[in-house]
Every structure is written in structure tokens, then in C-alpha cells.
Amino acid sequence: MPLSLSSAALVLEPDPVPYRPDADCAIFERDLLVRFGIGRDEGRLRQGANIGFTELADSLIRALPIPLTSPDLLIFAFGLPDMIALKHVAQRVNYMLGGRSHCFAVSEQGLRAPFTALKVADAFARSGRCDTLALFVCEQNTYAYPDPFIEDNKVPNSGALLYFDGAGRYEFHGTRMAPRGTPLRTLLTSMTAGLEPGPTLLVAGPWADGGELTGTGLPIHRTAPGPFCTGVWLDLARHHEDWSATYRSVVLCDTDPRTGQSQVAVLRLRPTHQIHRRSS
């Protein structure tokens, strides 16, 4: 049975927390950064928001409309590293939720990480190894070294928690990455050509070229600038219930500004959920 989006939560720019020095992490970071000719600047940490993945995950779990306990599969997806490299947040969250989830992180893929996470989860579900999924998509902006990309684009602390089971409105229909050099418009056409009739909404992240979105004939929802990999997922968490009253399909897309590669994912209403009718 395909995974379907049942509930969601988001957090955007929560209040900063005080810096908490950690001697072991300081040694690890210093030894790691020196290999790249970078010095560890503790002053950046003292002045930063210090909202790491742990804080984001805790806030997301509290904000989820339904109690979250031991989903079959728990995935943490991120395109930018956590504030403290030694932390393993997926395992910590699993422990908090009862310790019975199969959990791991998807990283080192830039903006593609959440899309890949859904693809992996879909394979788990289709093979009968999971019926429920908690997908965390997080990014933070406090580092002990300068990162011009984060600073120039004012990347905010943000996270989305998407809970999938077999009874939600939108079910995951597939995702695809454009080969290097392939325009986003070409990828969108290939992903939407076979969709069943019905209204479709195109949700474009902050990095997608507006010129590539025209010509699809679809209504377009643009997400706010700033987030790197959380943009479309924040708006999916915020609007999925409202969208399900109008749109049979939702197409998520964005282009990684660091690689130029685009990714598209499609969600479709489950057959039991008709347009303009909501489940109880």
C-alpha cells in the first residue's frame, strides 16, 4: 500500500537558545576543520541561534497534531550539516518515541535528500516492511566557521515533520531527478504527462527558475525564499489539508543552487478522497 500523508508539522525560526560548550565536540571540530585549513571560531557559536536538529526535532514532535509513537520507519533528511557533528539525532528521536523504529538519515545529497528519503520509504512500504513513516526534514544555520552560502541567502532554522500511513489524503506517487543539464521544464513535463485527470498544483521551491515553470499550464505556488532544502516541505506541511480540498495532484519541485540539478516529486489524492470532500 502506498504511503499517504496523514499529518504534518513545521517549525520556522524558533527562539534562539544559549550556547552550550562541549569540550569533546570542540576537539572533534577543530581536528576536522584544520584538514581544510579552517579555524574553529567559537565566537560564531556564542552569537548564533544554536537551534540544532535536536531542538528542531523536539519542537516538531510537540507540534504534530497527533501523538507520535514508534513509526515503522523514521528518516532524518538534511542538506546542510547539524550544528554538532557528533550527534546522531535519528537514533535519539527513535529512543524518545519508544525505540522500535527502523531509523537512519539521508544526507550528502544537498536539496535532493528529502526526495530520496521518500523514495527509499516507498520501497520499504511496497516491500511490506513499513506501514508508517515519520520523515523529518531539517536545516540549521549555526556553525563554528563561515559559510557564505548560508550567510548570503539568510538560510533560516527550519524543519518539517511529515507523517505517512495508509489513511492520509495525498499518497506518494514518485520522484525523479533531472540528469545534469536537463531543464526543470523537461522534468516537469515527464512527471506530469501521465497524471490522471483533475486539478494539479505545482509547488516550486525558492531555487527553481521561474522561467522553467511557465508553459506547464499548471497553477503555481512559490515558496518563500531562504530555506535550502526545507522550502517545499514546509509549505506541504502547512497547506496539505487545504490543498486536498481543491487539487487532485501536488507536484513538488526545486533546483539545487549548488549543483544545478532539479528534482520533482508527485503526490496524488488517494481514491477514497474526492475533491471538495474531506475525511472525518
Number of domains in the chain: 2
| Domain closes at, from 115, 147, 165 | 165
| Domain closes at, from 149, 165, 181 | 165
**Residue 275's pLDDT is what?**
52
**Residue 274's pLDDT is what?**
55
**DSSP secondary structure, 32-72, as one string:** HHHTTT----HHHHHHS----HHHHHHHHHHHSSS-----S
Inside any domain, residue 275: no
| Domain closes at, from 165, 195, 211 | 165
**Residue 157's pLDDT is what?**
98
The predicted-structure confidence for 15-54, as pLDDT tens digits, reads as follows 999 998 888 888 888 888 888 889 889 999 999 999 999 9
**Residue 193's pLDDT is what?**
86
**Residue 227's pLDDT is what?**
97
Same domain, 161 and 58: yes
**DSSP secondary structure, 119-143, as one string:** HHHHHHHHTTS-S-EEEEEEE----
The predicted-structure confidence for 187-204, as pLDDT tens digits, reads as follows 999 998 888 778 999 999
Query: Positive or negative CA dihedral for 61, 72, 133, 187?
Result: positive
Same domain, 64 and 46: yes
Which residues of the chain carry a pLDDT beneath 50?
A: 276-280
Q: What are the angstrom distances between the C-alpha of 190 and each of 44, 177, 202, 263?
A: 45, 11, 14, 12
Same domain, 252 and 134: no
Domain that residue 28 falls in: 4-165
Inside any domain, residue 279: no
Same domain, 21 and 152: yes
**Type of residue at 143:** Y
Same domain, 125 and 239: no
Q: Which residues make Cβ contacts (< 8 Å) with residue 160, sequence separation at least 6?
A: 8, 9, 10, 60, 136, 137, 138, 230, 233, 234, 236, 237
Same domain, 134 and 37: yes
**Type of residue at 250:** V
In a 3-state reduction of DSSP, which class is residue 237?
Answer: helix
**Residue 277's pLDDT is what?**
41
Write the CATH number for 137: 3.40.47.10
Same domain, 62 and 138: yes
Distance CA 158, CA 238 (A): 13
**Residue 279's pLDDT is what?**
38
Inside any domain, residue 185: yes
Grid cell listed for 13:
525560526
Inside any domain, residue 253: yes
Q: pTM, whole model, 2 decimals?
A: 0.94
Same domain, 125 and 217: no
Same domain, 265 and 153: no
Same domain, 38 and 127: yes
Helical ranges in 144-230 per DSSP H? 148-153, 184-192, 210-213
With CA atoms as reference, report the closest residue to 134 among 157, 174, 102, 178.
Answer: 102
Q: Which helix (H) or strand (E) holds 159?
A: strand 158-165
**Residue 231's pLDDT is what?**
97
Same domain, 133 and 196: no
Inside any domain, residue 176: yes
Same domain, 36 and 139: yes
Inside any domain, residue 120: yes
